[in-house]
C-alpha cells in the first residue's frame, strides 16, 4: 500500500505565503485522506499495483475505477504540489521555464495573469476549497506545454511519484519507491 510522503520542509517554512496551520491541514488531513482512501479502495478491490502510475493508468477513463483513479491522481498531485514549493524561492528552469515562456510570455506575465484572475474572482482560499475554474485552466494551459510524461499517463503528469517522495510499502512492510 501507499504511504503519505513527508513534507520536504518544516510546516512553517513557507510562511507567510502559506501558514503552518494551512500546511498541517492540507498535508496531514487532506492529502492523507487521499492516500488512506486509495489504500482502502485497493484492499477492497484486491489490487496490489506496482506503482501509483499503474493505478492511474489502469483506472483512467471513468467507470468502475473512477474512485481509484481520483484518489491515486490526487495523491500524486499533492506529492507533486509539495515538491513544487520551496522555502528558498527561486525561478523555474529547464522545461518548466520553457513552458511558462511559451504559454504566457514569462514568469512575470504568468504571475500577473494568475493574481489578476484571483482578484477578479474575489477568491479567498479556505482549506478544502477547489481552485476557481479559470485558475485551473491556467494550470492546464501550462501543463499542456510540458511534453515529457511517462508513456500512457494522462497529459500533464510529468514526474514519477518516486521522484516526489511517494513510497509504496512492499509485501514485507518495508518502503520502496512508488
Mean pLDDT in residue range 89-113: 84
Mean pLDDT to the nearest integer, 5-26: 92
Residue 94: per-residue pLDDT? 86
Res 168: pLDDT: 42
| % pLDDT > 90, the chain | 33
Of residues 157, 177, 155, the one with CA closest to residue 168: 177
Q: What is the rounded average pLDDT of the residues 139-149?
A: 52
Q: List Cα–Cα distances, 35 to 39, 80, 86, 94, 153, in angstroms.
A: 6, 14, 23, 30, 19
Residues 53, 177: Cα–Cα separation, whole Å: 12
pLDDT at residue number 85? 86
pLDDT digits 0-9 by tens, 122-137: 555 544 444 445 555 5
Task: List phi, psi (to 5°) of 177.
Answer: -60, 140
pLDDT digits (tens, 9 = 90+) for 145-165: 544 444 444 444 444 444 444
Q: Write down the pLDDT at residue 158.
A: 40
- Whether 45 has a pLDDT exceeding 70, the answer reads yes
**pLDDT over threshold 80, residue 1:** yes
Question: Strand, helix or coil at 169?
Answer: strand
Amino acid at each position: 500500500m501507499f504511504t503519505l510522503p513527508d513534507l520536504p520542509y518544516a510546516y512553517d517554512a513557507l510562511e507567510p505565503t502559506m501558514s503552518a496551520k494551512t500546511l498541517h491541514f492540507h498535508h496531514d488531513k487532506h492529502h492523507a485522506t487521499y492516500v488512506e482512501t486509495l489504500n482502502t479502495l485497493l484492499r477492497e478491490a484486491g489490487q496490489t499495483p506496482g506503482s501509483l502510475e499503474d493505478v492511474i493508468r489502469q483506472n483512467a477513463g471513468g467507470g468502475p475505477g473512477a474512485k481509484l483513479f481520483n484518489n491515486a491522481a490526487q495523491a500524486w498531485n499533492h506529492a507533486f504540489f509539495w515538491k513544487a514549493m520551496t522555502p528558498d524561492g527561486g525561478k523555474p528552469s529547464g522545461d518548466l521555464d520553457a513552458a511558462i515562456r511559451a504559454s504566457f510570455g514569462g514568469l512575470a506575465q504568468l504571475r500577473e495573469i494568475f493574481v489578476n484572475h484571483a482578484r477578479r474572482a474575489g477568491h479567498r482560499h479556505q482549506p478544502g476549497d477547489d481552485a476557481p475554474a479559470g485558475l485551473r485552466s491556467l494550470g492546464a494551459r501550462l501543463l499542456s506545454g510540458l511534453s515529457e510524461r511517462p508513456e500512457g499517463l494522462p497529459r500533464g503528469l510529468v514526474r514519477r511519484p518516486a521522484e516526489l517522495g511517494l513510497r509504496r510499502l512492499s509485501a514485507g512492510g518495508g518502503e520502496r519507491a512508488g
